[in-house]
Amino acid sequence: MTEDQSDSTLSNAENPERFTGLKLGKLKHAAAGTQAVIVSAEHVFSEMNALRGMKALLRLNQKGGYDCPSCAWPDPDDHRSPIAEYCENGAKAVAEEATTKRLTASFFAQHSVEELSRLNDYEIGKKGRIAEPLYLPAGATHYQPLSWEEAFTKISYHLKSLASPDEAVFYTSGRTSNEAAFLYQLFARQYGTNNLPDCSNMCHESSGVALNESLGIGKGSVTLDDFYKAEVIMILGQNPGTNHPRMLTALQKAKENGAKIISINPLPETGLMGFNNPQTVKGILGIKSRLTDLFLQVKINGDIALIKALIKILLDEEAKHPGTVFDNDFIRDHVKGYEEYVNHLKKYHLSDLMACCGIPEKQLKETADILRNSKRIIACWAMGLTQHKNAVNTIRELVNLLLLKGSIGKPGSGTCPVRGHSNVQGDRTMGIYEKPSEKFLDSIKNVFGFEPPRKHGYDTVDCIHAMYSGKAKVFIAMGGNFLSATPDTLYTADALRKCSLTVQISTKLNRSHLVHGREAIILPTYGRSDSDMLNGEQQFVSCENSMGVVQLSRGNLKPVSEHLLSEPVIVCRMAKALFGDASPVNWDSFLQHYDHIRVAIEKTIPGFENYNEKVRKLGGFYLPNSSREGKFNTLSGKAELGIAELEPVALKPGELLMMTIRSHDQFNTTIYGLNDRYRGVYNERRVIFLNEKDAASLGFKQGDVVDLFSNASGRERVAHKFIVIPYSIPEQCAATYFPEANVLVPVESVADKSNTPVSKSVVIHLRRHTPATSA
């Protein structure tokens, strides 16, 4: 059986009959610079006037301002630039969110769902902000307006009609604030389900599982200040120049302080190599700061073999010079499983590990020499590690390296999973999790006086299967673009269509509004930059960044419509419509002032004592972090070394291992433009990066058009019409942009333990495109 994307509602920047005109340019050798400033300004001022644009940018990431709706990189604790404490992608995110383009009822009366579906994701996103609540009745072709009361009544009716609360799914995007996330999980659990999947299930879930197993806490341990004290910073499976550009400033400062940077990635990303800081004279003049000292171009999914090889070399050096390589005191006092791990590692031959990772012995030993003589090591990673079948084991292997060096719980060292969306870590802290601890549920019971459900709920992959099989019938999404973010696009689309109701709480139009249940509702909400007035008083929300800092976020722009409601208000009004006046939770109090929400959080979740007082302090406050303090909340009370076998992906002749990646004009599923200038790709997204030798051996050359196929569970999936670009990537590896290639990611292919889709390990083969193949 072959599945293709002939369904017009899934064209998804992927309309197989329409290229936008590929142009190839030179690869950039340094990120940012004056061009980033120019591009930022172009994006912002094309969406709003100069006054609104400057007003938005000058408060972005400032103390007392609003948190960037893009990535979760932390703000400096002390000095922040009064002009530009943001990056190019942050400016693009604000341009998307703060646009003055509005979609009212008249727009939807003129354009049917089917017509809008023919647009690609970039075109859909550029339409503007949704200005009022919308309803798509069963069988209707056009969204139509409805009042907020009507919307809440319909949602309540559907939820009350279900045979079990577990037939409802409550999805959360990482953009959601602490206050909204806390209320959302409280609403779902009072309703009676733990079906609380979130975007973390698709990105750093593997990190949380691995860190919990090894260190007893699912968060990273470092602070921004640790970067400035580190001797070595390892960056694995991450492209900071595009995905976390403000990280480059921290790396630049670390380099100035003497740190060595080791970058490990299948692609030689521009942001890993050099940085033109646009806030310095050198950066403006184009004099780049070199970042990476040593680049290891690892094969896709070769990271665990590479790390084992490095540790094996270090182990041999420790045997020759006892006590000079590993931190034996730290291992003795704080680490469990050393002897077992050493015995496990001895059975591997360096040559076999080299073959698995693709890194020559000379580079491995050069890297090991840097690590050998260093005690303060930070390891950073992102999706390049987390979206593989063996992701949890790979991350644990990386933690093993830090533990053997004693590089956890000390200044200048530790773990740094670099989160994507700006409050994805905070949402988990607030209880957005399908497998809550008994301790958390007991706290809910004690504070609010109802018995929360104890059975674990659906994560993202589980909820897709549940909707597809008819076990879940109502899908409510707090933000995000679920269809474009998830794997196996056709399967997920069919799952959503089988729902009786889909509800999207959104700022802008996206693909998930166009692939819907029998009935669909869109509830328009504020963005981060919007001023949130409630009962005549401006409110603020709060977010937690990648390093566990909680700070307030207060928008300063006039909302584009008077018919918007904030996420906390939407949740409260849904709850009031569903539970009525007999609810043990006082939802009315939360509608009076957001301080009441934070009081409830303080009573429920450890670490938030005096929440309202601390969050009002400029810069916010750090949450407790046991591994940062050198304490390990595992069953043994010690950090635990992980032991894992290699599981290389076996490829047949003609097969490639594909990873999905972002372009530079993209953040998650939001497409800002059609250029990927650091990689030299312009005006096109349907491309596949191949090793030049692979392209030749398969009979392809630059510019050829191919179809991509993957096979799993008896289904052949196909994505049509991708343009071949020979590129610097290891042999038998390939890279494509998501969401265009998500159709190839099998929903059944997930990481062990974390259940994260393996979007970085998709076995594919190529065929030359012919018109008949997409007919």
Q: Which pLDDT tens digit goes with each residue over 296-340?
A: 999 999 999 999 999 999 999 999 999 999 999 999 999 999 999
Asked if omega into 739 is within 30° of 0 (cis), the reply is: yes
Which residue has 């906390």 as its token pair? 568
Q: Look up the pTM and report it.
A: 0.95
What six digits make up the tokens of 65? 């301002």
Which residue has 């999790």 as its token pair? 433
Secondary structure string (H, E, C) spanning 371-389 = HHCCCCEEEEECHHHHCCC
What are the Cα distances from residue 268, in Å, to 27, 199, 384, 645?
A: 10, 27, 13, 28
Provide the percentage of residues in the chain whose pLDDT is more than 90: 82
**Helices 88-97, 34-47: crossing angle, 10 deg rounding:** 0
What six digits make up the tokens of 47? 């969406």
Which residues make beta-bridge pairs with 474? 168, 501
Asked whether the beta carbons of 72 and 422 are under 8 A apart, the reply is yes
Is the Cα torsion angle 606, 611, 615, 620 positive or negative in sign? negative
Which residue has 């670490």 as its token pair? 607
Helix (H) or strand (E) holding 717: strand 715-727
Ordered DSSP codes for 573-633: HHHHHHHGGG-SS-HHHHTT-HHHHHHHHHHHSTT-TTHHHHHTSTT-EEPP-TTTTT---
> What average pLDDT score do residues 616-625 get?
94
Q: What is the pLDDT of residue 307?
A: 98
Q: How far apart are CA 496 and CA 202, in angstroms?
A: 18
> Does the structure show a pLDDT above 80 at 275?
no
Q: What angle do CA 273, 277, 281 make, to 5 degrees?
A: 130
Per-chain mean pLDDT for the chain? 93
Other CB atoms within 10 Å distance of the CB of residue 346 = 11
* SS3 (DSSP) at 46: helix
* SS3 (DSSP) at 693: helix
What are the Cα distances from residue 208, in Å, to 202, 215, 220, 392, 629?
A: 12, 10, 9, 9, 18
Ordered DSSP codes for 238-297: --HHHH-TTHHHHHHHHHHTT-EEEEE-SS--HHHHEEE-TTSHHHHTT-PEE--SEEE-
* SS3 (DSSP) at 337: coil
Kindly report the backbone phi and psi dihedral angles of residue 672, in degrees, each rounded to the nearest multiple of 5, phi listed first: -80, -30
Helix (H) or strand (E) holding 88: helix 88-97
Q: How far apart are CA 222 and CA 379, in angstroms?
A: 9
Ordered DSSP codes for 110-136: HS-HHHHHTS-HHHHHTT-EE-S-EEE
Burial of 322 (0-12, 13-18, 19+ CB in 10 A): exposed
> Does the structure show a pLDDT above 80 at 545?
yes
What six digits make up the tokens of 471? 């076990």
Q: How far apart are CA 405 and CA 334, in angstroms?
A: 12
Asked whether the beta carbons of 572 and 591 are under 8 A apart, the reply is yes
Kindly report the backbone phi and psi dihedral angles of residue 417, in degrees, each rounded to the nearest multiple of 5, phi listed first: -70, 115
**Identity of residue 174:** G
145-166 confidence digits (pLDDT tens): 999 999 999 999 999 999 999 9
What are the Cα distances from residue 11, in Å, to 137, 469, 515, 656, 765?
A: 23, 24, 11, 25, 22
Q: What is the pLDDT of residue 569?
A: 98
Provide the percentage of residues in the chain whose pLDDT is more than 70: 94
Kindly report the backbone phi and psi dihedral angles of residue 512, in degrees, each rounded to the nearest multiple of 5, phi listed first: -70, -15
Q: What is the pLDDT of residue 280?
A: 67
215-251 confidence digits (pLDDT tens): 999 999 999 999 999 999 999 999 888 888 888 889 9
Confidence of residue 20 (pLDDT cuts 50, 70, 90): low
> What average pLDDT score do residues 716-720 get?
96
Q: How far apart are CA 307 and CA 731, in angstroms?
A: 20
What six digits make up the tokens of 276? 């033109």
Q: What is the pLDDT of residue 68?
A: 85
Asked whether the beta carbons of 723 and 293 are under 8 A apart, the reply is no
Other CB atoms within 10 Å distance of the CB of residue 609 = 11
582-598 confidence digits (pLDDT tens): 899 999 999 999 999 99
Tell how many helices (H) and how many strands (E) occur in the chain: 31, 34
What six digits make up the tokens of 747? 């929903």
Other CB atoms within 10 Å distance of the CB of residue 556 = 17
Going by C-beta distance under 8 Å and a sequence separation of 6 or more, which residues neighbour residue 688? 658, 706, 708, 722, 723, 724, 725, 734, 735, 736, 766
* SS3 (DSSP) at 60: strand
Asked whether the beta carbons of 194 and 436 are under 8 A apart, the reply is yes
Confidence of residue 48 (pLDDT cuts 50, 70, 90): very high
Which residue has 């269809």 as its token pair? 483
Q: How far apart are CA 454 and CA 437, in angstroms?
A: 9
